[in-house]
Amino acid sequence: MMDGFVTVIREGLDEAGFTNIPIMSYAVKYASSFYGPFRDAADGAPQFGDRKTYQMDPANREEAFREAASDEVEGADFLIVKPALSYLDIVRDIRGATHLPVVAYNVSGEYAMVKAAAQNGWIDEQKIVLEMLTSMKRAGASLIITYFAKDAAGYLAD
């Protein structure tokens, strides 16, 4: 989240009487090409410029720790790392640096790549999905937000 937003949100919720509402902070949100399918579907691509002014440089590890620590101090209850798959090292390192739950956000481009490869018969979708989600959990994610939620629930039920 942008600096100060957790504080503003927390204070606004508290003033409105919502004192027990958890805040999931986009603490570590990289400027990523993996957001493409969602942006296309939502017609949310930037009309000019890019989002690099408020999303993090993928090459910058240190900023992740500063942003996560800042959001924790401001009162976040969960710290999101987005996207998940290319930043499992960051998930692991943030997990080791905080007492808060870390959330791995498995985004639309990660989903679309697996779906396309499976439709072409190049991969076993079920095995890949479960392997990806397992890697996020193993990296330290307390929670995983994913477009694969229904698929994974079905796989695990079988």
Q: Which of 52, 82, 115, 137 is catalytic?
A: 82
Strand partners of residue 82: 29
Give the pairing of strands 78-82 and 143-146.
Answer: unpaired
Tokens of 109: 């481009």
The alpha helices in 16-148, defined as continuous H runs, are: 36-41, 61-74, 88-97, 108-119, 125-139
27 three-state secondary structure: strand
Phi-psi region of 3 (alpha: psi -120 to 50; beta: other; left: phi over 0): beta
115 in catalytic set: no
Token reading at 13:
């919720």
Is position 82 annotated as part of the catalytic site? yes
Residues in a beta bridge with 146: 106
Active-site residue (options: 29, 52, 127, 150): 29
Residues that are catalytic = 29, 82
